[in-house]
Amino acid sequence: MALTTYNKKRNFKETSEPKGKSEKKNLFRFVVQRHDASRLHYDFRLELGGVLKSWAVPKGPSMNPADKRLAVMVEDHPVSYIGFEGNIPEGNYGAGTVEVWDAGVYFPVNEDLEKIPGQQALKDLDKGELKFFLKGSKLEGGFVLVRFKKDDKNWLLIKHKDEYAVNKKYDSEQFSKAALKKTVKARKKVSSK
């Protein structure tokens, strides 16, 4: 089953992550979780085929089409993981802090509305190229995931050139909750003087 690997890697007596079980419906949601683990990365997840198809993006997603972000495909996650935030205790798989960095909906560009939702997207993923639109609060517009040739887990996540694209340096860390808190604190300090 699709979530066997997910369940095997985790001890649910210790972690507060949800147990893996696949869903029947597909609502085309996406989430990006900032995962401050042994190595900081961003987990990019698309709801598809009853699970969250998942990629670990070391540098985080970018709204700049010039950035080709490495996205390493990891095990499917349960759809219920979509709102997961919290701390995975030391000694457990993925130990560290998870925060939702962005969430919203996506839509595969080649989706055939006559067919089962997500069927075409699953085929596209199999072929190694999935084009989609995102509507989140940080990520917006066209994107593509392209798999490296002769490689099953390394992909690139690239922003398409459109009206949402930015052409200056994009650092997803600047939009993390920790960074935003810092900015608010600094502003309060200034305004209280």
* CA neighbor of 27 nearest in space, from 100, 85, 103, 107: 107
Nearer to Mn ion, 35 or 147 (CB): 35
Q: Choose which of 43, 47, 102, 124 interacts with Mn ion (CB under 5 A).
A: 43
Q: Is 113 helix (H, G, I), strand (E, B) or coil?
A: coil
- Only segment of 21-29, 36-44, 137-145, 168-176 that touches Mn ion (CB under 5 A): 36-44
Least Å distance between CB 43 and Mn ion? 4
Exposed/middle/buried for 178, CB within 10 Å: 0-12, 13-18, 19+? exposed
Binding mask 149-168 for Mn ion (x = CB under 5 A): --------------------
The Cβ of residue 141 has, within 10 Å, a number of other Cβ atoms equal to: 17
26-44 residues labelled b (16+ CB within 10 A) or e (exposed) = bebbbbbbbbeeeeebbbb
- Tell whether residue 17 is a contact of Mn ion (CB under 5 A): no
State the pairing for strand pair 68-77/86-88. Answer: unpaired
Nearer to Mn ion, 43 or 102 (CB): 43
Least Å distance between CB 31 and Mn ion? 12
Residues paired with residue 126 on neighbouring β-strands, in sequence order: none
Least Å distance between CB 54 and Mn ion? 8
- Only segment of 30-38, 127-135, 142-150, 153-161 that touches Mn ion (CB under 5 A): 30-38
Tokens 């650092």 sit at which residue? 171
Nearer to Mn ion, 16 or 167 (CB): 16
Q: Which residue number is nearest to Mn ion in terms of Cβ?
A: 35
Nearer to Mn ion, 153 or 187 (CB): 153
Q: Choose which of 29, 34, 35, 77 interacts with Mn ion (CB under 5 A).
A: 35
Position 108, amino acid:
P
Total binding residues toward Mn ion, as defined by CB under 5 A:
2
Dihedral class, residue 28 (left if φ above 0, else alpha if ψ from -120 to 50, else beta): left
Binding site for Mn ion (CB under 5 A): 35, 43
